[in-house]
Amino acid sequence: MEEKKAAILWILAGVLIAVLPSHTQSLQQGISVQLPVTNHASAEPEADQKDAPIVTITEDGGAHLGIKPIDSAILKESMTENFSSSNHAGWKLYIKADARAPYQSLARVLFAAHDAGVETAILLTQQNESGAGRTPVPPKGLEIVISGPKRAMNSPRVQATRVQLLISAQQQPWLKINNEDVPWANLQEKLTRTLQNNDERPVLVMADGRLPFAPVAQVIDACRAAGAKVVLGTTQL
C-alpha cells in the first residue's frame, strides 16, 4: 500500500513539474552558440520569425548566414544578396555571436554588413533573469549603429563619448573612456556621469580584435543602461 502511495506521489510530482511555468529564450532553429549575458537588452520577437536574417558567429570565429556557412572572402557579396532580396525589405540584421568569439570576427561581419548598406544591427544576448526555465520568451538584443572604418577613426556627426577596450595582462581588458583609465567596477557610474549633459548620448565603442565578444557586450549593455546610442567601430585598435 505504501509503495502504491509513493508511486502516485511521484506521478503527481511529475505532472506538477511539467505544468509549472518556466522561461527560456525562444529563437528559430540554427547554429548553437553561448550568448553573452546582459541585463538591459530589449525584446526582439521578430528575430524568431522564420525568415529573419540572422548571422551566427561561433566560438572559433566562423560565420553562418542562417545555417549556411559564409566564407570571409564572399561575406560582403552574401550579405548584399541577402539584404537586396524583397523578402527581407525592412528587416533588421540580427547577430548571434558566441561570447567567446574573437571580436575581430564580429567586426568583420559588421564591416560586410556596412558595405551591404546595413546601418544598424541587433546583437542577440542571453538575459540575466530569474525564473529561467522552459517557457519560451521573446529573444532579446542590444541595438547598435554600425560604423565604417573611416567613421570609426573619427568622431561621428556629434561629439561622441569614446570607449576603448584594450588587451591587458589582467583577466579583464583595459578600459578607457575618453582616454581616461576606468576600473570596470566604475564603468556604469562613469558612463552615466559623462553622458548626463549630452542629449543625443552617442557612444563610440572600439575594441581590440583579439578580445572575446563578452566584455564588448558588457560595455554595450552598460551604455544601454545609461540611455546611450551605441556606435560600434569595425576597425581593430
| Alpha carbon distance 224, 232 (integer Å) | 13
**Residue bearing cell 525562444:** 26
Average pLDDT over residues 176-197: 92
Q: How far apart are CA 113 and CA 168, in angstroms?
A: 29
Q: Quick check: 124 and 84 in contact, CB under 8 A?
A: no
Q: Is the pLDDT of residue 237 over 80?
A: no
Is residue 166 over pLDDT 90? yes
Domain presence at residue 111: yes
In this predicted structure, the answer to whether residue 226 has a pLDDT above a threshold of 50 is yes
Contact status, residue 181 vs residue 175, Cβ threshold 8 Å? yes
Q: Specify the pLDDT at position 231.
A: 92
Is pLDDT of 9 > 50? no
The residue range of the domain holding 144 is 27-233
User: Is residue 68 domain-resident?
Assistant: yes
The strand pair at 202-207 and 180-181 is best described as: unpaired
Please give, one letter per residue, the 3-state secondary structure of the chain: CHHHHHHHHHHHHHHHHHHCCCEEECCCCCCCCCCCEECCCEECHHHHCCCCCEEEECCCCCEEECCEEECHHHHHHHHHHHHHCHHHCCCCEEEEECCCCEHHHHHHHHHHHHHCCCCEEEEEEEECCCCEEEEEECCEEEEEEEECHHHHHCCCCCCCEEEEEECCCCCCCEEEECCEECCHHHHHHHHHHHHCCCCCCEEEEEECCCCEHHHHHHHHHHHHHCCCEEEEECCCC
Q: For residue 22, is it within any domain?
A: no
Mean pLDDT of 156-185: 88
Task: Say which range, 36-50, 56-70, 148-162, 210-224, has the weakest mean pLDDT.
Answer: 148-162
What pLDDT, on a 0 to 100 scale, did the predictor assign at position 83? Answer: 66
Task: State the pLDDT confidence band at 130, using cuts at 50, 70 and 90.
Answer: low
- Range in 45-49, 60-64, 127-131, 184-188 with the lowest mean pLDDT: 127-131
Question: Which tens digits make up the pLDDT trace of 195-224?
Answer: 887 666 789 999 999 999 999 999 999 999
Q: How confident is the model at residue 29 (pLDDT cuts 50, 70, 90)?
A: low
Residue-level pLDDT at 18? 34
Q: Is residue 45 part of a domain?
A: yes
Report whether pLDDT(182) > 90: yes
Check whether 131 has a pLDDT greater than 60: no
Select from 33, 30, 35 the least CA-distant residue to 48.
30
What's the pLDDT score for residue 52? 83
Angle made by CA atoms 183, 184, 185, in degrees to the nearest 5? 90
For the record, the C-alpha cell of 15 comes out as: 505532472
State pLDDT tens for residues 54-91.
999 999 999 998 888 888 778 778 777 766 655 555 66
Would 215 be classed as within a structural domain? yes
Say if 15 falls within a structural domain: no
Number of domains composing the chain: 1
Please give the average per-residue pLDDT across 102-121, as a whole number: 89
